A and B are shown apart, each in its own frame.
Chain A
Amino acid sequence: MSLPPLSKFYNGFKDQSPEVAQAEAFKLGQALGLEAAHKLKLKGNDVNAIAKVVNEILAKMKYGALVIVEGDKAILRQSYYCPIMVSAASLKMPWDWLDENFAWPWMRGIASAVNPKVQFTVKRARCYGDSICEHIFEIK
């Protein structure tokens, strides 16, 4: 349960339309989400269940932050460095491209394995210059 090599993903999809990369990232996330849900013997499909599955994966990949449930939302706040950012800096890949076309659809894919009606919103993103990253999972 880990991230695919980001440079391989970037080089494979950078010249294609964003939708193609996003669809692939979503698929990768969804497969991981299903695997984690199965491993956790998960029951339910609310935001708590989503938080459990996402956290299981984030903890394994040493993301450094975990999803917390606040009311009817599962929120991921990251103020430290994350693997996406470190890869962007070390391997000179555009950070916003990696987030938009890999990280965000990938996370949406993970959550969709628990509930296909999940809505993933990027509230704040450091790749756009915000001070922290804040992503919200909701079921609509």
Chain B
Amino acid sequence: MELDRYVDLTSPHGLFVRAYLVSDKEEATTGQKALEGIKERYSSQAVMTDSSTISIGSGGDRYSLQLIEEPDCRIFVLISNLPHGDSATKDWVHHVADYLRQSEAILQLLPERPVSQFTVLVGFADSEKAAISLSERCSRYLECGEKARGITRGCLVANLDTITAQDSDYLRQNFLVASFRKTPSGSKPDISRFHQEFIRLAEFVGKLDRLCRSNELFFGTLGTAEQDVQATIEKETMENLFINFGNLGQIQINRLEKWLGELVTKFSDLSLLASAIRRDCTTAEMYVTQADNVLRGWNEKALEGYPTNASAEISQCEAIIKRFRNFLDRADALRTQLETTLNSIQTYLGFAQQKAMERQGNIVKVLTWVLATSTIILVLIEVLAALHILR
């Protein structure tokens, strides 16, 4: 990935990463078509520099849009330089709005429903103190707070908590990277590495977020399902098991069998759902591990009591995993409850059927005795008749 071929990474710029999930049935050319659409839209200003990259020159600004195709993910990476050289560095925060507005116009031409969009604003400062000051000015200008801050590889990295990031139907995160190396050229490899890492993060954390969102409705159903099971068990137990205990007729046995069938269905539905969520939980844990591997490499130094970006990101990821685990724990409890009730009914039914069989056995015994007695009487009558005693 040569993201810095057309954009100068040693001057302030913005990096916009949009990640998409790719379904098996999707056309392989979808990403390519999106690139071509953008090229067409910018016609004379856009040049296809290679099969996966467009360079766009718009009003003195240069943008580079690259498509990265992964087996299950498609990522668009847009980088834009500020048009001014040193002055841009000096008044950097005032150009942030331009960055966002112009880049947003291009991003809007990309396909809908990404899993994530990461916006990374990259600036330069003379010292760590100046980097902190740049970060604070930037936050003020964008009217947002900083969720996390940390120093890594000669850069201050801050996670900016903007309104757009909170109210979105996909994951949006905004970062500021303020490099404070002595010479800007010295920071190029670090900045380039940050780009790669933010691209990976946007993919992993975006996939995790989508997985959680797609299960949100299922998580929400557990409460009513628990109540439903509780109410059914209480009602049916009272009506079937205790009230009619010791007085079990065929009608009760039929009711119990029907109830047993209903509980088996409930048990099976819950098991299927829990299996699906368990699969997703395992996938979610894998995404967290992947994100953690990227962030651990930053080895951030904490700053002024802020959580580091790694710890903030991972605790957010852990919170998502907790939702999956919470569902699974509660579903397991519910399954145990259903299983216990199922076992009780099966035992009870077995007992009832045994009793019924015993009753049938007793009837047979009585009938046999009656038959035997009748036979003896008949034989006696015949004998007596033969001896002419009864005549």
Could you say which residues of chain A place their CB within 8 Å of the CB of B265? 62, 64
Is A83 an interface position by the 8 A CB rule? yes
Complex Cα spacing A131 to B273, Å: 17
Is A89 an interface position by the 8 A CB rule? yes
Contact B223 A81 (CB under 8 A): no
Q: Mark A82-95, 1 if CB is under 8 A from B, else 0.
A: 11011001101001
**Given known A-B contacts A79-B224, A80-B225, A64 and B262 have beta carbons under 8 A apart:** yes
A132, closest chain B residue (CB): B224
Could you say which residues of chain B place their CB within 8 Å of the CB of A132? 224
**Minimum CB–CB distance for B73 against chain A, Å:** 16
Contact B266 A90 (CB under 8 A): no
**Minimum CB–CB distance for B232 against chain A, Å:** 8
Contact B273 A86 (CB under 8 A): yes
Contact A86 B223 (CB under 8 A): no
Complex Cα spacing A95 to B220, Å: 14
B214, closest chain A residue (CB): A92
**Minimum CB–CB distance for B177 against chain A, Å:** 36
Contact A89 B218 (CB under 8 A): yes
**Minimum CB–CB distance for B337 against chain A, Å:** 13
Is A27 an interface position by the 8 A CB rule? no
Contact B228 A95 (CB under 8 A): no
A residues 60-100 with Cβ under 8 Å of B? 62, 64, 79-83, 85-86, 89-90, 92, 95
Contact A129 B220 (CB under 8 A): yes
Q: Mark A121-140, 1 if CB is under 8 A from B, else 0.
A: 00000110101100000000
Complex Cα spacing A82 to B270, Å: 9
Is B54 an interface position by the 8 A CB rule? no
Is B105 an interface position by the 8 A CB rule? no
**Given known A-B contacts A64-B262, A79-B227, A83-B269, A90 and B221 have beta carbons under 8 A apart:** no
Contact B269 A90 (CB under 8 A): no
Could you say which residues of chain A place their CB within 8 Å of the CB of B223? 131
**Minimum CB–CB distance for A81 against chain B, Å:** 4
Total contacts A-B at CB 8 Å = 53
Is B277 an interface position by the 8 A CB rule? yes
Q: Among the interface residues A79, A81, A82, A85, which one has the most CB atoms of the partner chain B within 10 A? A: A81
B218, closest chain A residue (CB): A89
**Given known A-B contacts A80-B266, A126-B221, A127-B217, A85 and B273 have beta carbons under 8 A apart:** yes
Is B384 an interface position by the 8 A CB rule? no
Could you say which residues of chain A place their CB within 8 Å of the CB of B262? 64
Is B276 an interface position by the 8 A CB rule? yes
Complex Cα spacing A82 to B218, Å: 12
Could you say which residues of chain B place their CB within 8 Å of the CB of A126? 217, 220-221
Contact B273 A89 (CB under 8 A): yes
Complex Cα spacing A22 to B95, Å: 51
Complex Cα spacing A81 to B274, Å: 11
Contact A64 B266 (CB under 8 A): yes
Is B241 an interface position by the 8 A CB rule? no
Is B229 an interface position by the 8 A CB rule? yes
B residues 228-249 with Cβ under 8 Å of A? 228-229
Q: Mark B350-389, 1 if CB is under 8 A from A, else 0.
A: 0000000000000000000000000000000000000000
**Given known A-B contacts A80-B266, A80-B269, A90-B272, A85 and B218 have beta carbons under 8 A apart:** yes
**Minimum CB–CB distance for B157 against chain A, Å:** 35
Contact B269 A129 (CB under 8 A): no
Complex Cα spacing A90 to B262, Å: 21
Contact B217 A81 (CB under 8 A): no
Q: Mark B259-291, 1 if CB is under 8 A from A, else 0.
A: 001100110011011011100000000000000
Could you say which residues of chain A place their CB within 8 Å of the CB of B270? 81
Could you say which residues of chain A place their CB within 8 Å of the CB of B261? 62
Complex Cα spacing A132 to B221, Å: 8
Contact B217 A95 (CB under 8 A): yes
**Minimum CB–CB distance for A135 against chain B, Å:** 16
Sort A-B residue pairs by CB-CB distance and give the 10 closest, nearest first: A81-B269, A89-B276, A79-B224, A62-B265, A80-B228, A90-B276, A79-B228, A86-B272, A86-B269, A131-B224
- Partner-A contacts on B (CB < 8 A): 214-215, 217-218, 220-221, 223-225, 227-229, 261-262, 265-266, 269-270, 272-273, 275-277
- Partner-B contacts on A (CB < 8 A): 62, 64, 79-83, 85-86, 89-90, 92, 95, 126-127, 129, 131-132
